[in-house]
């Protein structure tokens, strides 16, 4: 086409330009269509048909704007998608961090609960042990009290026996000092 225009073979150039326009429109090749409109405008310009040259120049310009708009839209959509993707990734990271914090908090609460249970268990064991010791002390105290009572009974019996055998002054001296001074008794039975 370009060669036909340069060689001033206008009819061959126009035939090829018409075919190129049909194919580009049918196949939706917008870039090729824009270039075809440029060449058609140049063809009309070479034919001194400036009105049609202006029409196809505008079509080329409009197609160029359409391509730029599509590219701009595509770039904007890609940027929007990238931005949304990054936002989602940040949200996922934040959710992961929140999840980790919640898990750590749950672990901490479990640890505190376990420590409280262990503490209460130890306290219960200590109370049971102290209760057992108290019971043993009470039992020993009762046995000791019973022995003191038995001892007091036996002591009373011994004192009574001693008083039956010895005079009361001698019995009292022996009980209090563990010895007595010999005395002279005139009558002994």
Interatomic CA distance for residues 44 and 56, integer angstroms: 9
Each residue's pLDDT tens digit, 79-99: 999 999 999 999 999 999 999
How confident is the model over 21-35, as a mean pLDDT?
84
Tell me the pLDDT band of 111, cut-offs 50, 70 and 90: very high
Q: Is the pLDDT of residue 163 over 90?
A: no
From residue 124, how far is each of 13, 111, 117, 138 by CA, in Å? Answer: 106, 20, 10, 21
Q: Is the pLDDT of residue 142 over 80?
A: yes
What is the DSSP secondary structure assignment for residue 178, as one 8-state letter?
S
Interatomic CA distance for residues 126 and 139, integer angstroms: 20
Residues in the chain: 189
Task: Kindly state the tokens that stand for 92.
Answer: 């996922």
Greater model confidence, 165 or 147: 147
Q: Exposed, middle or buried by CB within 10 Å (0-12, 13-18, 19+), for 89?
A: exposed
**Per-residue pLDDT, 189:** 62
**Per-residue pLDDT, 160:** 85
39 and 17 Cβ atoms separated by less than 8 Å? yes
Greater model confidence, 25 or 91: 91
Contacts by residues 6-13 (CB-CB < 8 Å, ≥ 24 positions apart): 8/46, 10/43, 10/46, 10/47, 13/39, 13/43
**Per-residue pLDDT, 58:** 93
Backbone angles phi, psi at 47, to 5 degrees: -90, 0
1 and 39 Cβ atoms separated by less than 8 Å? yes
Range among 19-23, 24-28, 73-77, 92-96 with highest mean pLDDT value: 92-96
| Alpha-carbon 159 to chain mean position | 84
Tell me the whole-structure pTM to 2 decimals. Answer: 0.43
Quick one: CA torsion of 121, 125, 128, 132, rounded to 10 degrees?
180
Q: Ramachandran region of residue 78, left (φ > 0), alpha (ψ -120 to 50) or beta?
A: alpha
């Amino acid at each position: 086409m370009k060669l036909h225009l340069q060689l001033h073979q206008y009819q061959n150039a126009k035939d090829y330009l018409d075919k190129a326009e049909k194919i580009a429109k049918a196949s939706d090749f917008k870039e090729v269509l824009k270039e075809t409109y440029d060449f058609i405008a140049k063809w009309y310009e070479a034919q001194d048909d400036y009105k049609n040259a202006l029409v196809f120049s505008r079509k080329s310009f409009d197609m160029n704007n359409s391509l730029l708009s599509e590219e701009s839209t595509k770039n904007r959509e890609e940027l929007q998608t990238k931005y949304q993707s990054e936002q989602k990734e940040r949200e996922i990271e934040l959710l992961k961090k929140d999840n980790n914090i919640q898990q750590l908090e749950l672990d901490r609460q479990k640890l505190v609960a376990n420590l409280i249970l262990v503490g209460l268990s130890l306290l219960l064991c200590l109370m049971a042990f102290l209760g057992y010791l108290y019971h043993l002390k009470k039992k020993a105290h009762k046995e000791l009290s019973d022995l003191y009572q038995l001892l007091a009974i036996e002591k009373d019996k011994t004192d009574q026996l001693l008083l039956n055998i010895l005079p009361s002054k001698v019995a009292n001296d022996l009980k209090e000092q563990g010895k007595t001074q010999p005395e002279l008794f005139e009558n002994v039975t």
